[in-house]
Structure 1
Amino acid sequence: MIESWVIDDGSPVPVSPEVVRETLRVRVDRGRLETLLTSSSGRSLAFVTNTERAMVMLLDGAGDPGEHAVDPGAEGSSAGFVLSNGQHDEYRDEDTVPVGEAFRIVEHVVSTGSWPADARWVVDR
């Protein structure tokens, strides 16, 4: 079975790999800095950005600490990650990736169900 993904905003329509990058860009442009995608197998893909960097997490289900994309060697931290509940977060830059890379990672996960072979990530389980 091929896994399909929907944006967790009430719409039952799956988002295709061909449009997920542009969909995220439009949401960010409209000030929606957090997007949660849910798969037909019950997994979740979380994307939250400050428009320059993004946290990308892949979770196997509710309560799973998951895995997240990393940028080894990045120094410092960045603020401005605004969650849908209004919470403002700050993350170490090594625990986030540049937003363009985050778009690429999300597109690949939606397309294949797994991280890109050349992406770096950390398992938080």
Structure 2
Amino acid sequence: MVETWVIEDGGGAPVAADTVEDVLRERIAQGRFDALLAGSSGRSLVFVTNGVRAMTVLLGEDGDPGEHAADPGAEGTSGGFVLSNGQHDAYPDEDTVPLDEAFRIIGRILRDGSWPSDAPRVVDR
């Protein structure tokens, strides 16, 4: 079975791998820097960006700490990650990835159902 994905506050229409980057960029342009994508299998993808870097987390089910994209060796911390509830977060750069890399990872998960083999990640389980 092919997994379908929707953005939780995006009207319920499925989001395809080849359009997810455009959809997320449009949200960013509107000042909406986070998105929760829900998969038909019960998985979730969490995306939050500061416009330069992104925290990208894949969760298996409710309560799963999941796994997140990583940038091993990156130094420093970046702020400006604004959640829809108004919360402002900062993350170590090693726990976020450049925005284009986040789009590549999310597209791959939506297309193939799996994390790209060449994309470092931290398993938080």
Aligned pairs for 1:42-81 (under 5 A) are 42-81=42-81
Partner Cα separation in structure 1 for residue 10 and residue 67 of structure 2: 25
Q: Which runs of 5+ in 1 are unaligned?
A: none
Partner Cα separation in structure 2 for residue 55 and residue 106 of structure 1: 11
Percent of aligned pairs sharing the same letter: 62
**After the TM superposition, which parts of structure 1 deviate over 4 Å for at least 4 consecutive aligned residues?**
none
Partner Cα separation in structure 2 for residue 108 and residue 53 of structure 1: 18
Q: Which runs of 5+ in 2 are unaligned?
A: none
Secondary structure in 2 matching 1:17? coil
Aligned pairs for 1:1-125 (under 5 A) are 1-9=1-9, 11-125=11-125
The CA deviation at 1:11 is 2.1
TM-score by length of 2: 0.97
The CA deviation at 1:12 is 2.3
Query: Over residues 83-122 of structure 1, what are the superposed CA-to-partner deviations in whole Å (9 max), with x where a residue is unaligned?
Result: 1111100000000000010011111111111111110001
Give the AA of the match of 1:76: G
Give the AA of the match of 2:100: G
Partner Cα separation in structure 2 for residue 23 and residue 10 of structure 1: 9
Give the AA of the match of 2:73: G
Give the AA of the match of 1:14: P
